[in-house]
Amino acid sequence: MVNMMTPAGDFGVYIHWPFCLSKCPYCDFNSHVRHAAIDEARYVRAFAAEIASTAARIPGRTVSTIFFGGGTPSLMQPATVGAILDAIGKHWAIAPDVEITLEANPTSVEATRFKGYRAAGVNRVSLGVQSLDDAALKELGRLHTAQEALDAVAVARSIFERYSFDLIYARPRQTAEQWSAELRRAIGEAAEHLSLYQLTIEPETPFAALHKAGKLVVPNEDIARELYDVTQEICAAAGLPAYEISNHARPGAECRHNLVYWRGHEYAGIGPGAHGRLNINGARIATETERRPELWLMRVESLGHGLIVDEALTPGEQADEYLLMGLRLAEGIEPSRYTSLSGRDLDLERIATLREQGAVEHTAAGRLRVTMSGFPVLDAVVADLAA
Ligand SMILES: C[S@@+](CC[C@H](N)C(=O)[O-])C[C@H]1O[C@@H](n2cnc3c(N)ncnc32)[C@H](O)[C@@H]1O
Ligand code: SF4
């Protein structure tokens, strides 16, 4: 599986903290609620062991981004975050301008830890605000009010030079007028980055059961499209254009960590249920660890890693992944990189048809990208172009 075409680019380390105080009914992330105290020291040892075993496979890298995701990483003690950062620094060089993000839930308790995270080295936080409407927050099963979330944003602003927050839209009964007002208010609180996700009904979540029973009605395709369009207009006018289908930033303030995924660069996935992509001897290795926290711990303690998937991607798989991830970005993809990965050109006839439909376009530099009107049907565009 020789692939000389994966450009070096940024190298990222993803750390997954798999615990939450309660499970939100829409969420299918690898998150677990535990009523007994979490033995953080034991987890630190396991994270350090997995970092060491990964670094032994890909030595000599310089880490340019680190992302603590979850679950709810803001439930970790700052000392735990610091110890994990120390372990990363022991095995790899750290770039002087490294971006270190921590995902936080916006409750008052969690905001009290922000100073500690800053002292540990975190320089960016991403807050799960989700909505500025208390009734919507309740329906989403959130444990915070809108005011509490705004207070947490204010604390973040006072401590971190960079912060972002997430909102979920296309919620039950939401109209374009309501969403526009909420989004404008949110932009007033935002700095350089916002993640705006359309509510997705994920299989096997409580929301999926309610949806199936007709008790949770989400906006139909036309309304969802209207909501998407007002999102783009309002954000672009406020200087926060979409650089990815759900992510908006002032130019230069994009989340470098997520760009590592979307641009197909290299990243190590550490912790329960984390995914990684390692470039080893010309091969692109997909890794995935055991999802269940206690089983992951036991696996790491006995084997030194929690891997349950560790396999080289075929050229076709690499090329499809490049399309799937790269076409999410406003900058699009380089057709020549697709060709080098897959050994064949993109189908010019299919591209011509998609261009006629206004779903894709070429940039002056020859990149292929999805247009604003193509983004709402991105899955269909990718399916059309993939092998
Ligand atoms: C790992 S999650 C959560 C981070 C943090 N635990 C929180 O809830 O604030 C990252 C983001 O994905 C989004 N998300 C999760 N499930 C979603 C769904 N079913 N539909 C749309 N967005 C979702 C939320 O905006 C969330 O903040
Ligand atoms: S949305 Fe966040 S807090 Fe809620 S269950 Fe998922 S990861 Fe946990």
Residue 185 has pLDDT above 50, yes or no: yes
Specify the residue with its C-alpha closest to ligand 1, atom 4.
128
71 Cβ below 6 A of ligand 2: yes
SS (H, E, C) the chain: CCCCCCCCCCEEEEEEECECCCCCCCCCCCCECCCCCCCHHHHHHHHHHHHHHHHHHCCCCEEEEEEEEECCHHHCCHHHHHHHHHHHHHHCEEEEEEEEEEEECCCHHHHCCHHHHHHHCCCEEEEEEECCCHHHHHHCCCCCCHHHHHHHHHHHHHHCCEEEEEEEECCCCCCHHHHHHHHHHHHHHCCCEEEEEECCCCCCCHHHHHHHCCCCCCCCHHHHHHHHHHHHHHHHHCCCCEEECCEEECCCCCCHHHHHHHCCCEEEEECCCCEEEEEECCEEEEEEECCCHHHHHHHHHHHCCCEEEEEECCHHHHHHHHHHHHCCECCCECHHHHHHHHCCCCCHHHHHHHHHCCCEEECCCCCEEECCCCHHHHHHHHHHHCC
Q: How far is the CA of 292 from the centre of ligand 2 (A)?
A: 16
For ligand 1, mutation pick of 16, 21, 29 (most atoms within 8 Å of CB): 29
For ligand 2, mutation pick of 22, 26, 30, 31 (most atoms within 8 Å of CB): 31
In this structure, the residues whose C-beta lies within 6 A of any atom of ligand 1 are 26-27, 29, 69-70, 72, 103, 105, 128, 130, 166, 168, 197, 199-200, 202
Specify the residue with its C-alpha closest to ligand 2, atom 2.
71
pTM for this predicted structure: 0.96
For the ranges 103-112, 113-122, 242-251, the lowest mean pLDDT is seen at 103-112
User: Ligand nearest 18 Cα, by number?
Assistant: 2
Predicted pLDDT at 387: 66
Predicted pLDDT at 191: 86
59-91 per-position pLDDT tens digit: 999 999 999 999 999 999 999 999 999 999 999
Q: Which amino acid is at 346?
A: L
Specify the residue with its C-alpha closest to ligand 2, atom 7.
71
User: Ligand nearest 23 Cα, by number?
Assistant: 2
Nearest to 299 by CA among 46, 73, 79, 128: 46
Predicted pLDDT at 4: 39
Residue 261 has pLDDT above 90, yes or no: yes
* Mean pLDDT, the chain, integer: 95
32 Cβ below 6 A of ligand 2: no
For ligand 1, mutation pick of 24, 27, 199, 291 (most atoms within 8 Å of CB): 27
Q: How far is the CA of 128 from the centre of ligand 1 (A)?
A: 7
195-236 per-position pLDDT tens digit: 999 999 999 999 999 999 999 999 999 999 999 999 999 999
245-257 per-position pLDDT tens digit: 999 999 999 999 9
Specify the residue with its C-alpha closest to ligand 1, atom 7.
128
